[in-house]
Structure 1
Amino acid sequence: MKNSLIIVVILLSLNVVQAQKKAFPQTPGMVSYTFRNSFQKNVAATLDTIKALGITDMEFSNLFGKTAAELRKLLDERGMHCSSFGVGYADALDKLQEVGQNAKTLGAQYVRVAYIPHSGPFTLDMAKKTVADFNQIGKRLKDEYGLAFCYHNHGFEFEKHENGTLFDYIVQNTNPQYVSFELDILWTVFPGQDPVALLNKYGNRFKLMHLKDLRKGVVGNFSGGTPVENDVALGTGQINLPAVLKAARKAGVQHYYIEDESTSIATQVPQSIAYLKNLNE
Structure 2
Amino acid sequence: MTHRRDFVKQVGLLAAVSCVRPELLLAAPTPYKAGLQLYTLRDYIGQDAKGVLAKVAKAGYQEVETFGYSPEKHFWGMKPTEFKAVLAGNGLTTPSGHYDLGNFLRSGDKAQLMATIEAAKACGQQYVIVPYLDEKLRATVADCRTLAAKFNKAGARCKSAGLRLGYHNHDFEFKPLEGTTVYDVLLKETDPALVDFEMDIYWVVRAGQDPIKLIKDHPKRFPLWHVKDMDKANRELNTEVGNGSIDYRNIMTYAGTAGLKHPVMEQENFAGDAFQSITQSASYMRKNLLTISKKA
TM range (shorter): 0.7 to 0.9
The answer to whether residue 46 in structure 2 is matched with residue 36 in structure 1 is no
Counterpart-to-counterpart distance in 1, 2:137 and 2:194: 28
Counterpart-to-counterpart distance in 2, 1:91 and 1:251: 30
Match of 1:80 in 2: 92
Residues 190-229 of structure 1 correspond to what in structure 2 (within 5 A)?
A: 190-218=206-234, 226=236
Counterpart-to-counterpart distance in 2, 1:195 and 1:47: 30
Match of 1:176 in 2: 192
For the residue of structure 1 that corresponds to 2:128, the secondary structure is strand
**Structure 2: runs of 5 or more not aligned:** 1-23, 69-74
Of 68-77 and 196-205, more deviation after overlay is shown by 68-77
Which string of whole-angstrom CA distances, capped at 9 and with x for unpartnered residues, describes residues 182-239 of structure 1?
Answer: 00001111111111111111111111011001112445xxxxxx5xxx0111122221
Could you tell me how far 1:72 is from its partner in structure 2? Answer: 1.3
Counterpart-to-counterpart distance in 1, 2:213 and 2:200: 14
Counterpart-to-counterpart distance in 2, 1:146 and 1:130: 22
Could you tell me how far 1:279 is from its partner in structure 2? Answer: 2.2
Aligned residue among 132, 149, 154 for 1:115? 132
The answer to whether residue 60 in structure 2 is matched with residue 54 in structure 1 is yes
Counterpart-to-counterpart distance in 2, 1:173 and 1:71: 35
Counterpart-to-counterpart distance in 1, 2:103 and 2:136: 19
Match of 2:32 in 1: 26
Match of 1:271 in 2: 280
Aligned residue among 114, 127, 131 for 1:97? 114
Cα distance 1:169–1:121, how it changes in 2: closer, same or farther (>3 A)?
closer
The answer to whether residue 158 in structure 2 is matched with residue 141 in structure 1 is yes
Look up the equivalent residue of 1:105 and give its one-letter code: A
How many residues align? The count is 251
User: 1:68 touches 1:105 (CA, 8 Å); kept in 2?
Assistant: yes
TM-score, normalising length: structure 2: 0.78
RMSD: 2.4
Cα distance 1:202–1:26, how it changes in 2: closer, same or farther (>3 A)?
same
Of 37-46 and 83-92, more deviation after overlay is shown by 83-92
User: 1:82 touches 1:106 (CA, 8 Å); kept in 2?
Assistant: yes
Identity in percent = 30
User: 2:140 touches 2:178 (CA, 8 Å); kept in 1?
Assistant: no
Cα distance 1:121–1:188, how it changes in 2: closer, same or farther (>3 A)?
same
Match of 2:251 in 1: 244
User: 1:91 touches 1:99 (CA, 8 Å); kept in 2?
Assistant: no
